[in-house]
Each structure stands twice: as structure tokens, then as C-alpha cells.
Structure 1
């Protein structure tokens, strides 16, 4: 088990200007995405995170069930990753969808 001192990381004066103050606008600056997210854990965590985790899987399952998906063009999907905390794709995925007959029964 690895325990990290998140409190100290998020209040490090070498990383943050005025680390003890609540200033969400500091994340609108360029280059701030590489720093630790101070509002992602503890009492400042997102209150809707658990709901979002459940809804993402439900929405993804609904999209797979209700639509037929095809890629745009003949080239294969490029799985190269770009920089970022969520590993975004370097080349965005472009797709076309066509509704399945079951959609009329669900809606």
C-alpha cells in the first residue's frame, strides 16, 4: 500500500502561489494542467464523482446498444496518445453513427 501526503502536495509553495487560498481561477492559466489537482481529494473532492462514474458506463452502454458505429474514411484508428492527465488521443476519433431499430422501442 502506498500512502501519499496529498495535503502537503496541494499546499506546496514551490508549486502554487498562495497555496492556502481557494482560487479555482488559477487552473485557467496555460501549463497548470501538469500540476497536481488540489480539489480532487478529501473534502474538496467533486461531490458528483460517484454519480458521474455510474452514469458514464450507463451512457456508453446505451450508445453501443442503440447505434451502429463506423469510422469516417478507410484509414485505421490511430491510437497514439497526446499529453494530459486523461491520455487524450493525438488524432481525434471521427465516427458516424446510425440508429438501430431498437431505438424506436426504447424511446
Structure 2
């Protein structure tokens, strides 16, 4: 169940995202050669706190050569699979309760 804070936070993220002011976790893997974007987040601190879980999930799936960068950007695709020559947009909405 969403709280008032969750609703307010979602509103802030939506407004900030349109201005390019939100933070994203960019994860690049060498094997497979992919780039993943996780977010958006209201602060770099919040994005950094979520990073460990994303890296652990990718390691569990067998990804190697993982590099992480926290940055402000506006990704048009959330997953870019360079090995397959395709771009996959998962249209994932953030799960606010799991990001803190």
C-alpha cells in the first residue's frame, strides 16, 4: 500500500525526470556485453544505496566485468544488449519501497 510519502516521492521523481535532474545507476557488463539502467532516484545517495542489490543480481545471473556509475541522465532504453545487437526497453516502474 502506498503511503503519502510514496505518492509525493513519485510525483517529485516524475517532475525531476522531465528536467533531467534524477539519478540513475548505470551498470555495464563485459560478459554479456550489456548496459543496464536502474532508477530513477531523487539523490545520488539513494542510487548508491540500491547499487549493491543490482550488482548481486547480475553476479547471480553470471555476469562478469561489472562496472557501476551513478549519474544524471535520461536513458531512452533501460537495457542495451550489445552482444545481441538489440535494445530492450523493459518499461519497468520503480518499486519505491525496495529502494531505501
**The structure with more radius of gyration:** 1
- The interval holding the TM-score normalised by the smaller chain is under 0.3
Q: Which has the higher strand share?
A: 2
TM-score (norm 1): 0.23
- Greater relative CO (CA pairs within 8 A, separation 6+): 2
TM-score (norm 2): 0.25
